[in-house]
């Protein structure tokens, strides 16, 4: 035998130790040699004990090339040991020592083990050794609550490793939800505190008519002097909107004050310019003797 990997689980079958006979009736001189060989094998395993050369689980085994990503263990069903997720270390001439993870295994005459290699692949040649990780993927011997943050590589926790709804507000540092982390249209009215949006948050000219409630624009919201003629509807200014004694002659269109708009008895002599009443303005027979000064010349 040539190492712990070749020891048989059947005690009586262990009749050779690194070429030293340990069979029944062995030479007494072989005893110390056998003990030394056993110590050598134990130390070799201990030097890299995270890897176990399980083989067929009983003794010497045959691992053979099947494809660039698979190998076989001859004549025994060891699929439960070479199970999906367990790590593999394999040594052969062309790839050298390569590492991978078992993707699946199956048994039919031989056990076929399919591996996703970290790098490299198998060639059609003899396989020197096949090791499996000492820790099983299932029913692991790792104690619970033992893996701390120092044991986890930076950037190693991916989305697939987080349970749904596992990231709560207590897991997010204040101020770290950036614009890039918000989905489009994800912030609605329920997420905005009352009285928290001020003018700096509005895009210029973004408030349109549809977003102004009826009767919400009061005089306090209109800057003095900013209601222009174009903003006033036709016939929108009536007498109730004009202050008393505020319209002077500059606001009348020439010739716009007609008879209908002059109250009765409102044109007095003071309103008639001198020499402005011509004969055309006097009705025939309207001037009687009482209207003529006695000293006036009559023709």
pLDDT tens, residue by residue, 41-86? 888 878 888 999 999 988 889 999 999 999 999 999 999 999 999 9
* Closest alpha carbon to 134 in 46, 63, 214: 46
Per-residue model confidence as pLDDT tens digits over 143-191: 888 888 888 889 989 989 899 999 999 999 999 999 999 999 999 989 9
Q: Tokens for 262, please give them.
A: 């002059």
Give CA–CA dist 38/43, Å, rounded. 9
Q: Report helix, strand or coil for 66.
A: strand
Say what the pLDDT of residue 298 is.
Answer: 62
Determine phi and psi for 170, rounding to 5 degrees: -70, -15
| Polymer length of the chain | 299
Domain edges within the chain: 4-47, 63-133
Angle at 151 between CA 90 and CA 144, to 5 degrees: 95
Per-residue model confidence as pLDDT tens digits over 216-229: 999 999 999 999 99
CA atoms within a 13 Å half-sphere pointing along the CA-CB vector of 130? 30
Whether residue 100 has pLDDT greater than 70? yes
Q: Is the pTM of this model over 0.75?
A: no
Q: How far is CA 110 from CA 60, 115, 173, in A?
A: 15, 16, 54
């Amino acid at each position: 035998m040539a190492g712990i990997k070749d020891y048989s689980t059947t005690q009586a079958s262990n009749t050779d130790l690194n070429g030293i006979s340990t069979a029944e009736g062995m030479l007494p001189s072989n005893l110390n040699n056998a003990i030394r060989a056993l110590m050598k094998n134990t130390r070799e395993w201990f030097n890299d004990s995270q890897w176990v050369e399980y083989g067929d689980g009983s003794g010497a085994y045959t691992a053979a090339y099947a494809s660039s990503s698979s190998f076989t263990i001859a004549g025994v069903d060891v699929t439960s040991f070479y199970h999906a997720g367990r790590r593999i270390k394999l040594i052969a001439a062309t790839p050298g020592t390569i590492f991978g993870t078992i993707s699946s295994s199956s048994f039919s005459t031989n056990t076929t083990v399919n591996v996703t290699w970290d790098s490299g692949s198998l060639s059609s040649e003899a396989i020197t050794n096949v090791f499996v990780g000492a820790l099983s993927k299932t029913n692991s011997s790792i104690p619970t609550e033992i893996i701390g943050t120092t044991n986890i590589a930076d950037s190693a926790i991916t989305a697939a490793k987080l349970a749904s709804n596992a990231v709560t507000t207590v897991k997010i540092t204040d101020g770290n939800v950036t614009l890039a982390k918000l989905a489009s249209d994800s912030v609605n009215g329920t997420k905005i505190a009352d009285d928290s949006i001020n003018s700096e948050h509005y895009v210029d000219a973004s408030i349109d008519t549809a977003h102004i409630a009826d009767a919400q624009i009061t005089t306090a919201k209109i800057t003095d002097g900013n209601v222009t003629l174009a903003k006033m509807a036709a016939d929108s200014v009536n007498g109730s909107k004009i202050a008393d004694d505020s319209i002077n002659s500059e606001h009348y269109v020439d010739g716009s004050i007609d008879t209908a708009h002059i109250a009765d008895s409102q044109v007095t002599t003071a309103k008639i310019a001198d020499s402005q009443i011509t004969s055309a303005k006097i009705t025939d027979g309207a001037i009687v003797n009482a209207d003529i000064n006695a000293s006036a010349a009559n023709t």
